[in-house]
Amino acid sequence: MPASPSTARALNDRLALRLLQQEGPLTAGQLKQLTGLSRPTVADLVDRLTASGLITVVGESGEQRRGPNARLYGIVADRAHLAALDVRTEGVFVLVSDLLGRVLAEASVPIGPDAGTGPAVDQAVAAVESAAKEAAAMAAPPREGVRGWGTLHTVGIGAPGLIDPATGDLRDSAGLPAWHRSLAVTLQDRLPGARVTVENETNLAALAEQREGAARDRDTFVLLWLGHGVGAAVVLDGTLRRGASGGTGEIGFLPVPGTAALPSATDCTGGFHSLTGAAAVTSLAAECGLPTPATPDGPGAAEAVRGAVAEVEKAGEGVPVPATGPRAAVPVARPGEGEVKRRGGTDVTAGAEPDAATASASGEAGPAARASGIDPGRGSASESESESASESVSAGTGPVARGTVARPGSGAASVPATAPGRPGCGAPPQAGPGGAPPAALPGDLPAARFLRILADRIAVGAASVVAVLDPGCVVLGGEVGQAGGAVLAGLVEERLRRMSPLVTEVRASSLGGTAVLRGALLTARDRAQDELFAPPDRMGG
């Protein structure tokens, strides 16, 4: 059934606007060529979009013949403004952009753990309003007769926790501040003309990586968020998957070996979060004798990882990085030093008997497993086993949800490096089954050991995701993923290659901690353009 004239006009207008968004300013002749529409049809749509205040003449092309077709038309960026929010447990980051995504204003406000819901929401809303006013002052003069010029049209919010797929609301989650759930409602009340949307922060980060970051050439991949907390986002066949309850990617609750307990429905302590959350990463760095920041948050953990990578690269330490994917070359393990990796990062020469972890992976019980009563089928050791540093876990206390960790002072009880039977990262090698200490790589730096153990931990969760989804690509996102760069990504990929028959490329995020804001801005822009690029009778002109 052919489209009605009004529907055909709407489709043509939207097509032209999308082209102008993607290609930049175009002439009417170029629009005709790219759309395949007739010259009269293109002339009509240009007139409609100009009258609606969505496009305007921004210059002339370099054609020799001057005339209507030589005029360059572009989207009027200040037709509407957009706000993006990255909501965290300790505060809010805000940016405001024009319709094309050019950032006009930024703001941030710290919110302490003792702030009540009302004051916290007021501070966050005030930051949005302040940034919106600053952006409006920078906007071009409003066009006469066009309503809503330069106003805040859409607000995109990225927050930790579950988003109800039926209502789009942030669900009540244990461990998250109460003001998170009140923020969207208050913003809608205070900005009645704006459209407010909320999305899980890790999902937004994945969308940003897909469109602007490390996964631009992938329509199927998994983003593993490594920052203040841990989470995952799943993109299959170009579509973000949220799950029946909005919980796809709650990998912080994934039960893993190497922790002292199992997670519960309200507390991910004992899950993958306890191995790779910011508190665990900074604690591991301390156990390895590396400089550590005072605050075990995402930026703090990233600082520790970045410092370790810099030290390893400076020393030319043998850290294996497979030569696959768009990564720069880095030194690999030295020739002749074939190694069997212990889970604790202690290296033994090739040919030595497999330890419990290695044997468990291959289905064979090694001497350590037989001596300590490990059941190879379970893949976990008894409490009396002499565990390696990779199993020396810093577990936050209290209920924790994705994207959060217990606040300083309330969590991260790390196992000390000197604990009996639990050698720390930098501890002297312990005696092997025959009584002799295992050999270590010459010049093995604490920084290299730290990165290897961290890669072991990350690979445990990544391998579970790969086994179920076979995404072909895992992006290590968040502040820690970006800080680890090609070195950490290569270590994780090398471990996945040994753990899984499914070929999986591991890439480092190119956006890091900014990915949530970028994703929130992209979703806000998409929603605003979907409405503004609608038929003329709905454009408000």
pLDDT along the chain (541 residues), means of 10: 76 89 90 93 92 88 59 90 92 93 93 88 94 85 58 92 81 77 90 91 96 95 95 95 90 90 88 94 94 88 95 73 39 33 32 33 34 32 35 35 34 34 44 40 76 96 96 96 96 96 96 93 90 59 38
Is the backbone of residue 463 left (phi > 0), alpha (psi -120 to 50) or beta? alpha
Report yes or no: 273 and 252 within 8 Å, Cβ to Cβ.
yes
Which pLDDT score, from 0 to 100, does residue 504 have?
97
Reading the block at residue 379, the tokens are: 């893949």
* Cα distance between residue 183 and residue 179, in whole Å: 6
Q: Tell me which H or E stretch contains 105.
A: strand 103-110
Reading the block at residue 337, the tokens are: 């030093």
Which pLDDT score, from 0 to 100, does residue 381 have?
35
DSSP state for residue 120 in the 8-state scheme: H
Rounded to whole angstroms, what are the CA distances from 218 to 208, 214, 513, 522?
A: 12, 9, 20, 18
Query: Scanning the structure block, which residue is given the tokens 């309850």?
Result: 245
Helix, strand, coil percentages (3-state) for the chain, rounded to 5, are: 40, 15, 45
Which pLDDT score, from 0 to 100, does residue 141 have?
63
* Cα distance between residue 488 and residue 494, in whole Å: 10
Reading the block at residue 60, the tokens are: 């002339």
The identity of residue 193, as a single letter, is G
Dihedral sign for Cα 187, 188, 191, 193, please. Answer: positive
Which pLDDT score, from 0 to 100, does residue 435 have?
42
What is the maximum alpha-carbon separation in the chain? 90
Which pLDDT score, from 0 to 100, does residue 181 have?
85
Which pLDDT score, from 0 to 100, does residue 396 have?
35
Q: Which residues pair with 92 in a beta bridge?
A: 87, 109
* Cα distance between residue 164 and residue 175, in whole Å: 17
Which pLDDT score, from 0 to 100, does residue 251 have?
94
Q: pTM of the prediction?
A: 0.73
Which pLDDT score, from 0 to 100, does residue 53 have?
85
Question: Which ranges of 38-90 would DSSP assign to H, the alpha helix?
Answer: 39-51
For 177, phi then psi, to 5°, come to: -60, 145
Reading the block at residue 479, the tokens are: 């502040």
Query: Scanning the structure block, which residue is given the tokens 């822009």?
Result: 525
